[in-house]
Amino acid sequence: MYEQLAQRLADDARVRGGQPVLGRHVHLVADAGDGPVGQVEGWFERHGVDEATPYTCEVLSLIVSSRARTRGLGRALLEELARVARQMSRGAPVVMAAEVLEPNPAHAFYAKIGYQPVSWTGRVSTSLAPEPTGDIAAWVARPATSDDALAIAMLDPALAERRRAQGDARFDRPRSVDATFVGALAAHLARPASLLDQCELVVVDAQGVVRASASLTVMSLDPPFIPARRGLLGRFAVDPAVDPAPLVAPLVRLGKRLALLRGAATLELTDLDPPGAPLYESAVRTGAHPWSRIVERWA
Amino acid at residue number 202: V
pLDDT score at 134: 53
CA distance 50 to 181: 12
Angle between helices 179-190 and 149-165 (to 10 degrees): 110
Q: Is 268 in contact with 256 (CB distance < 8 Å)?
A: no
CA distance 200 to 190: 11
Where would I find the beta strands (DSSP E) of the chain? 21-22, 25-31, 36-45, 55-64, 94-101, 116-125, 140-143, 199-204, 210-220, 229-238, 266-272, 289-298
Amino acid at residue number 43: W
CA distance 114 to 50: 26
Q: Is 38 in contact with 29 (CB distance < 8 Å)?
A: yes
Angle between helices 278-285 and 245-261 (to 10 degrees): 50
Structure pTM? 0.87
pLDDT score at 195: 46
By three-state DSSP, how is residue 157 classified?
helix
- For residue 208, give Cα distances in angstroms to 10, 26, 37, 138, 252: 55, 47, 58, 10, 19
In a structure prediction context, what are the per-residue pLDDT tens digits for the chain, which is 299 residues long?
778 778 888 888 889 888 899 999 999 999 888 888 999 999 999 998 888 999 999 999 899 998 878 889 999 999 999 999 999 999 899 999 999 999 999 999 999 999 999 999 999 999 866 555 555 557 999 999 999 999 999 999 999 999 999 999 999 999 889 999 999 999 989 887 654 578 999 999 999 999 999 999 998 877 666 778 899 999 999 999 999 889 999 999 999 999 999 999 999 999 999 999 999 999 999 999 999 999 999 99
Q: Is 218 in contact with 267 (CB distance < 8 Å)?
A: no
pLDDT score at 130: 58
- For residue 83, give Cα distances in angstroms to 28, 94, 196: 12, 10, 36
DSSP string covering 33-66: SSSEEEEEEEEEE-BSS-TTSPEEEEEEEEEE-G
By three-state DSSP, how is residue 181 classified?
helix
Tell me the pLDDT tens digit for each residue of 153-190. 999 999 999 999 999 999 999 988 999 999 999 998 98
